[in-house]
Structures are given as structure tokens and as C-alpha cells.
Structure 1
């Protein structure tokens, strides 16, 4: 019988236990750490995920990475998506654009998708977490989970046969993937469908006979005898990501299996695949957890929603789960916000995840193309209970409460620089700030001149970059004070010149 050791003393004051060190768990841990919390991050594997799987980073996620302080590294180590090149029997059929060409604008400075292998994204996030004083405990498997009114007890077992130990935390976040142990232990079900019955193999390979200027596409045979394949160069590496329809999934994949499938689906010979660095196969499913919260336990990322890789929405939706949840956990744990604030995580993220699932499935089945929706800049929380709009006549060019707050430069202020960090921002556009400000921790304020992308008014920007509250002028300040009690409690007023 395995002995269980209580570990409350070894982990004093664990506020949030994050299970899983993929992009979701690491992004959440970074967000919590920069807000002064000390999350305990555990990962069953002995190290970071080694593959390139989620390689496309959408513009909205680039904005998140800007705020988290990792954008420079993401841009330095990644690259734009290359032009597609279609092949048939070793003959080039011609180039085609994989994505709509979009130019950067003042309001949306980042375009995409930006290609970066998933393993490198995780390395960047882990380095940021360590710079913030956090880390990951690898080789720790969650086996039991129980909760009460005050917290959650989790039993962790070392992968190398160590003793089981119990850790107590105020909250637990399951960011542990599509086969989530946290989801299973909380009894949350998933509802979904099989998107494609044909298994898919994805592998990181070195190929000597293909140029690195194109995303190489190999259409399926017209008679159905051969499936689809794609070979994409991964920026900053000597590796291609190979994706191919797989005749039959196998319990174990060898390098020779990968080479054989590359040769079967493309004109590349098996001996031209000089290295196979990572490989995995899967069947394309779409599924959504029935709930994203069970008491003090939350689901995020693939633990909450499983996508087709078509359209590049899975990793991006997952990182934005973390970005939504991080500031809310910190508001409750650090700033005295009512616990009901945490209910808005599921309220906001479940509909967004459902929409992105539907988009991914439609793209996979050829019913939609990769366009504006895949960039995720149009996602909003207008229907959230946290969103209040007090203007009756919103300009056609302007944004509404619940929309993403656009970037821009006015009167020497870059808005994304103003918004960056773990705070709310009260922005007065072509009007005055109120004399009294809501008691929101670390609130920043700014006044700028006319800007059509907003329209005239007052705008309270949430820590995750969405407009929480909007009104015409300082005369609406009492409504802002009432709204602020949802995220800070009834703690009084702050003078505008404080």
C-alpha cells in the first residue's frame, strides 16, 4: 500500500494548483505570478511537451503575449506563414495563399498566424514564469482530488515511484489536456462528435529535398487511394512539421513508420527524411466540457475543449482561457473581490470556446475558410454579466462594452502600453475623467483626444483587454462605482488626483 504524506508545510499558502504545464497552464501561471501569487504548477511528464503540434499563434494571442511580457521572444523566434505550394506526383501545381493577406493597422498591430512550434512557445512561457519567481514540478501525477468549502486537497504521486503526498490549495485549475485527469476526478462530462474518422499523423521531421520557402501541400488521390498531407517549415529550426492522413492508428509509432507514410503521401523518398524528432497520431474530434467549473476546480484549454487543428484555434483559445481566469483568481485571492466573480469565467469562456469549436469543425469540413474569425480579434464578452454599456448611440466605427479594446496612439500615449500589466484602465476619450474614481486596485487613468475607434466617452478596460464598462461622460460615474463592487467589493472611492 502506498503511503500518503501530507505536504501542507512544504507548500505553505498554495493558493492555486495548476495541473499541466502546456501553453494553458504556463500562461496562467505567468499571469498569476505577475500579480503576486505563487501558483504550484505540476506536470506528469518529465519535461515540456517536445512537439510542434500547436504552431499557429493568432493576432489576439499575440496581444496576450504582449501583455504577459513574452512577445519579443515570440516574434524573434517565430515567423510568418509561408505561401502554400501544391504538388501532384512530384510536379508543382502552383502557389496559393493559405490565409487572407491582412495588413497591420493602428487598432490591430499584429497579424497572423505567426508560426512558432508549440515546444518553443512553452519554453518561452516557462522562462518567463521562472523570471517571475515561479517554476514547474515535473514528474508529478495527480491521482486524487477532494474539495470542501475552504479549499481543495490533491494527491500527487512522483512518476518515478515516490511517495504520494497531499497538497492543499484554495483553487485547482485543470490544464492537463484532452484526457484531463482533473476533469475525470471532478466528474465533468464532455459532449462532442467525431469530425473525421481517418486518423492523422503529425511529426517533426528533417527533410533534405524540399525548399523551406513554401508550405507544401499534397492533395488526396482522386480515387481515394491516398490521403492528404502537408509539410510546413518551422521558423527558426531545420525541421518541417509533417501532417498526413493515416490509414490505421497504431499503438506505437516508429521512425520508419513516419518515413513510410511521408513516402506514401508525397513524392519525398523515405531516405530523404533524415530525422524524425517527434511523432504522434490522433483522430480528429470536437468536444466541449459541459461545465468549466465545479466548485473550487476549473477546467481550461484542451481539458475543457478539444478542436480539430484546422484553422489553428485550439492553442489560442486555450491561452485565452488562462488569460480570462488569471485576473479573476487574483482579484478574489489578492484584492478582496467577491467569489461570484469566478462564475463569470465559465459564463464568458464556454460560449467563446463553443464558437471556436464550431469554426474549427467548419474549416476542417470545407464549409468555412481561414479568415477574420480565425484571428480572434472579433471575440467579445458583450453578453457577460460583467459588461455594462451606458451609451445609447454608439458610433458605427466605435467599439461597444464587451469588445476588445483597440490599440492606437493619441496625445503621446500608446494604448497597449497603457493597458499592459495587471490592472484596470479608465480611459477618457474626448471627455474628462470623473472627480472620484472606483476603488479598483492599481487602477490607471488616461485622457486622450478624439479617436473614432472608440467614440467619445469613458471606457473601463479590464486586465484582459476587454471593455468592461462604457458611458458618455463623467456624469455616469455613479454607475461605474456600482459596477466596481463586482470586482473589488464596496471599498470606497479614490480621488481622481490620488
Structure 2
């Protein structure tokens, strides 16, 4: 976009973090015009949100980057405690499970945040989109037809605006949306990406150093030569300079300053939990850290953020391109705000040692049963549940059939007639062997949740019409 020009688009996304890039990819594959701006000159450089939960892996697979996530990530290492330069023993802080028919991703996966963003940006470019860097939002106004955003590079006129610009969100402040929160831990924490001499420390374990000087951990980051360093301080302001990081390692571990061959990125923060009072104001929405800020404990922040975008993307697509009523967009906050509140509570309890990481942290059990788009039940599932994986009966997987921006009407173990729909928005599939479903008909939303369920198609057409899906077109 040329300086001082005015650009028109369907959706303006402010922020090129994980949530902004996820939303941009989802909109691009639907054919929605989206313009992404980022005030920084490049993508975020640090490893900060390194944990990829199983549900998020399913989302990324649907967006077409599952192979890249497998290639560049790896399983979370087992913890190894140290004291006075001696190994004290290993312990595993995660629930690990092998893949099952219904849940193909069971174990925690790790990939530095900067790599996740690189993968999503590459996918966005494959889909014909891109990010305008060094473009900061300076103001916005709304009317009945759209949003006008003022940027340092010019103006953008969009039907909708999405603030994906982090915990200090300019969009949130411009909308007058407040955040309610608490300090999870008043003690400051330093986080850094460092490189350690190969002979000084192995990359097999997640190293946890205990001692009077304070806690320090070094976690090898898969697909890189880096370790993520995390150190908690009782008070004061951590020294985030390379010299300060090296001195910290020498003070709290058996390693020397010279063993830290490079400090690639560093920052400090005080763990906080906060939730925006609402996720929408008119034609503007908040996703990710702009809507909720988590303690890093439990690895919920990035994952919840990605899933915000995944929930909003298909709804924007249906309203903008397929005639769905604008009321569909109201369901974004109705579905996601309770989930964000639940995950904030989980992160805080894990941080304070009140709860261990477990199945809840994997986010596979999250759903929208009580939400405005849940209708009916059949077999083993209720509308609002995550749609499990399973065999198609033709040598394939249900997740392969779900992949893409369409809805899927799934008939499991029943010969109930299906609508004679011939459009691109809906695919139909019959299978006998998807055990996690039981028997019935299931309309799977584009974001992988069961929207409607029943023993026959009674009520299906009316429900689908609320989503901009006309089942009478044949």
C-alpha cells in the first residue's frame, strides 16, 4: 500500500502474531479479501509461546500447515532437575498419550513462536495474501457500513476490523474496551533464547536448575539450535542484556558465561491474567492476547488465540460471501469468551501449583454445547462437541474430509437420506466405522465442531439457513 493511499478491503487485521496470521490464512482460503498490518518491521523474533496443544495441531493441519509443524517441531522433552551441578532425576510435567482413532495428536508438541509465525506467513503467501509491516494503527472510526482505520501508511476502509495486536492492544483501547485481570505472580520473570556450547549441555532434556540463587530452566527448542531460558526473580528488574543473561546462567547453573555462545532474544514480564470485558464493539472484534492475557504456565495463551481466529474466520466468510445473517457474528463472543475465561483460570491454577497439566490443557475437550449454534444430539455426541477423527471407510480419515473451508454432513451407521445439495459449501459423507460418533447425522462446522446432530434431517435445513447454507439449492 502506498503512503497516504486509501485501501478498501473486506477485513482489516491489525497484528501479525499467531492469531492474526491464522485468521488471515482462513479468510484467504475462503476468498475473503483481508489486509494484514503489523506495526513492527518484522515478525516477532522470540520463542515465547512454544507449546502447541493437540487441538491447535488439528487446527493447523486443517489450514494446510500440518506437515510443516511436524517437520519443524518436536515432542516436549522430559524435565531433568539439577542441583549443585549434579543431576537429581527426571520427571515428566506433561500428560502424554499415543495417537488414537479419534485423537491423532496426543502428546505435547513444541515449536518456537517465531517458527509458528513463519509457517503461517508462508502459508498466507501461498494463498495470495501478505503482511504490510511498519504500519501502525493511529485511530479508527465506525459507521453502519464499515470501519475506517488510520494507519501510519494511510487509510484503510474495511467492512470489519479485527484487533490481533497483543496484550497492549491499540485496537482495544481505541474501542474503549476495558480488561479485568489480576497479577498471577508479582515476581518478575526473564525469558530468553540462547545458544549453549554443544559440549556443555545436552539437548535431550528440559533442564531445571534448583538452588539458593533461584530457579532457572533451559528447554531445547526443536528444529533449532536454541534453548529457551526462563528464570524467576523474587524482586527487582532482570537484566535482559546479553551480558546480564550470561551472568544469570553462570550464577544459577554449573555452566560458565562462556558456555552461552549467543543470546538471540530476551525479555522480562510479570505473569498476569486478564480478560477483555467484551470481544466485540460494532464492526470490530478482538482475538488472541488483545482479548485475553495468560500466564505462560500450561501453554494456553497462543493456543487459545489461534482458536479464537479459527472460530471467527468461517463466520466472517459466511456473512461476507454467502449471505449469512450478520447475527452470526454475535456468536463469536458468545462462544469464545467463556472458553477464554476457562483457559485463563486453568493457566493461573497451573502457575500457582494448584492444578497439574492434564487433559484440560490439551483443549480437546473444549466445545460449545451451551452455545447459540448448538442444536441436537445423536449417537455419542452432542451439538457443540469437537468432531472426532475416524475412518471414512474408504481408506481415508475424517479429518482429511473435513479439511478446507466447507461444512461436512456426516452420516454414521445410518442410511437416512441426505439433502441433494450440489454447492461447494457442503460435502456429504457416509461411513460405518467412526466409533467415536455412534450412529446418526452430524453437521460439522468448518472449524471442526458439531453444529447440528440428529437421527434424520428434520430441522437441518432451517438450522443450516442460519449459517448461510441453503440446503434446498440443488
- TM (norm. structure 1) is 0.91
Gaps of 5+ in 1: 159-164
| Match of residue 222 from structure 2 | 235
Q: Summarize the Cα distance change of 1:138–1:248 in structure 2 as closer, same or farther, 3 Å threshold.
A: farther
> Are the counterparts in 1 of residues 384 and 449 from structure 2 also a CA contact under 8 Å?
yes
| Match of residue 162 from structure 1 | none
Q: Summarize the Cα distance change of 1:438–1:357 in structure 2 as closer, same or farther, 3 Å threshold.
A: farther
Q: C-alpha displacement at 1:249, in angstroms?
A: 5.3
Residue 141 of structure 1 pairs with residue 136 of structure 2: yes
Aligned equivalents of 2:238, 2:78: Cα separation in 1:
35
Aligned equivalents of 2:164, 2:416: Cα separation in 1:
40
| Match of residue 119 from structure 2 | 124
Residue 347 of structure 1 pairs with residue 334 of structure 2: yes
Residue 484 of structure 1 pairs with residue 464 of structure 2: yes
Residue 82 of structure 1 pairs with residue 77 of structure 2: yes
Deviations 1:396-427 (A, max 9, x none): xx222111111111411410011000000000
Residue 18 of structure 1 pairs with residue 13 of structure 2: yes
| Match of residue 103 from structure 1 | 98
Aligned equivalent of 2:311, options 317, 321, 324: 324
| Match of residue 494 from structure 1 | 473
Counterpart of 1:205 in 2: which secondary structure? Answer: strand
Counterpart of 1:444 in 2: which secondary structure? Answer: strand
Which has the larger displacement, 56-65 or 264-273? 264-273
Residue 268 of structure 1 pairs with residue 268 of structure 2: no
Aligned equivalent of 1:284, options 271, 279, 284: 271
Gaps of 5+ in 2: none
Aligned equivalents of 2:288, 2:377: Cα separation in 1:
33
- TM (norm. structure 2) is 0.96
Which has the larger displacement, 251-260 or 294-303? 251-260
Counterpart of 1:347 in 2: which secondary structure? Answer: helix
Aligned equivalents of 1:83, 1:467: Cα separation in 2:
35
Residue 408 of structure 1 pairs with residue 390 of structure 2: yes
Q: C-alpha displacement at 1:348, in angstroms?
A: 0.5
Aligned equivalent of 2:163, options 165, 174, 182: 174
| Match of residue 5 from structure 2 | 7
Q: C-alpha displacement at 1:184, in angstroms?
A: 0.5
| Match of residue 151 from structure 1 | 146
Counterpart of 2:186 in 1: which secondary structure? Answer: strand
1:345-384 aligned within 5 A? 345-384=332-371
Q: C-alpha displacement at 1:440, in angstroms?
A: 7.3
**Matched pairs, number:** 470
Aligned equivalent of 1:67, options 45, 55, 62: 62
Aligned equivalents of 2:61, 2:265: Cα separation in 1:
29
Residue 334 of structure 1 pairs with residue 321 of structure 2: yes
| Match of residue 202 from structure 1 | 191
Counterpart of 1:170 in 2: which secondary structure? Answer: strand
Aligned equivalents of 1:110, 1:68: Cα separation in 2:
16
Q: C-alpha displacement at 1:262, in angstroms?
A: 1.8
Aligned equivalent of 2:429, options 446, 449, 465: 446
Aligned equivalents of 1:349, 1:320: Cα separation in 2:
9
Counterpart of 1:201 in 2: which secondary structure? Answer: strand
| Match of residue 399 from structure 1 | 381
Which has the larger displacement, 83-92 or 457-466? 83-92
Residue 186 of structure 1 pairs with residue 168 of structure 2: no
Q: Summarize the Cα distance change of 1:191–1:440 in structure 2 as closer, same or farther, 3 Å threshold.
A: farther
Q: Summarize the Cα distance change of 1:438–1:193 in structure 2 as closer, same or farther, 3 Å threshold.
A: farther
Q: C-alpha displacement at 1:434, in angstroms?
A: 2.9
> Are the counterparts in 2 of residues 31 and 327 from structure 1 also a CA contact under 8 Å?
yes
Q: C-alpha displacement at 1:455, in angstroms?
A: 1.1
Stretches (4+) displaced over 6 A? none
Q: Summarize the Cα distance change of 1:458–1:199 in structure 2 as closer, same or farther, 3 Å threshold.
A: same
> Are the counterparts in 2 of residues 437 and 481 from structure 1 also a CA contact under 8 Å?
no
Q: C-alpha displacement at 1:450, in angstroms?
A: 4.5
Deviations 1:74-117 (A, max 9, x none): 10011111111001111100111121221110110112321101
Aligned equivalents of 2:17, 2:236: Cα separation in 1:
24
| Match of residue 38 from structure 1 | 33
